[in-house]
Amino acid sequence: MSLIRDLLKESGYSDKAAEYYLNRVNVGEMSEPDAYAIYTGPCGDTMEFFLKVEEEGKIKDASFQAIGCAGAFSSGSALCDMIRGKTLEDAGRIEEEEIIEYLDGIPMQKVHCACLAKRTLRKAIGQYKDKQGG
Ligand code: FES
């Protein structure tokens, strides 16, 4: 047991959320992504989302980078896992509550961090669609 893991659990992160954060799951830049966006949330933290998109509009791969907290990192990690294999439309409809449910819980005051992940993904999807001409 690490001290950080204990602190995460004490502050309201589930085991799953703590593992996502500590293992930096899906964190990293992607070379030549089909879709990309960078977004800064109201808290001042920033996230980048990278997507590989198949011809049928399905998400083949996803990764992210962030200047942010454990809430932002666990949410970004989870969201990448949640959207692989989904259509852009379905991925773009995911709400922060679903991310938090998938994570089995993060602290109440971190809901906006899941929102940062959602908004960054939606921006990447929007820019991809604009590039495709709608
Ligand atoms: Fe800014 Fe969590 S405090 S993303």
- Tokens read off for 15: 């085991």
Which ligand 1 atom sits closest to the C-alpha of 47? 4
pLDDT at 133 over 90: no
Q: Is 69 in the pocket of ligand 1 (CB under 6 A)?
A: yes
Q: What is the DSSP string of the chain?
A: --HHHHHHHHTT--HHHHHHHHTTTTBS--SS-SEEEEEE-TTS-EEEEEEEE-TTSBEEEEEEEEES-HHHHHHHHHHHHHHTTSBHHHHHT--HHHHHHHTT---GGGHHHHHHHHHHHHHHHHHHHHHHT-
pTM (predicted TM-score):
0.97
* Cβ neighbours of 42 (radius 10 Å): 8
**Domain spans, the chain:** 2-132
Q: Is 43 in the pocket of ligand 1 (CB under 6 A)?
A: yes
Average pLDDT over the chain, rounded to whole?
97
Average pLDDT for 18-45? 98
Average pLDDT for 108-115? 97
pLDDT cut 70: percent of the chain above it: 99
State residue 1's pLDDT score: 63
Which ligand 1 atom sits closest to the C-alpha of 72? 4
Which class does domain 2-132 fall in?
alpha beta
* Cβ neighbours of 28 (radius 10 Å): 10
Smallest CA separation from ligand 1 atom 4, residue: 113
pLDDT one-digit tens code per residue, 48-89 = 999 999 988 999 999 999 999 999 999 999 999 999 999 999
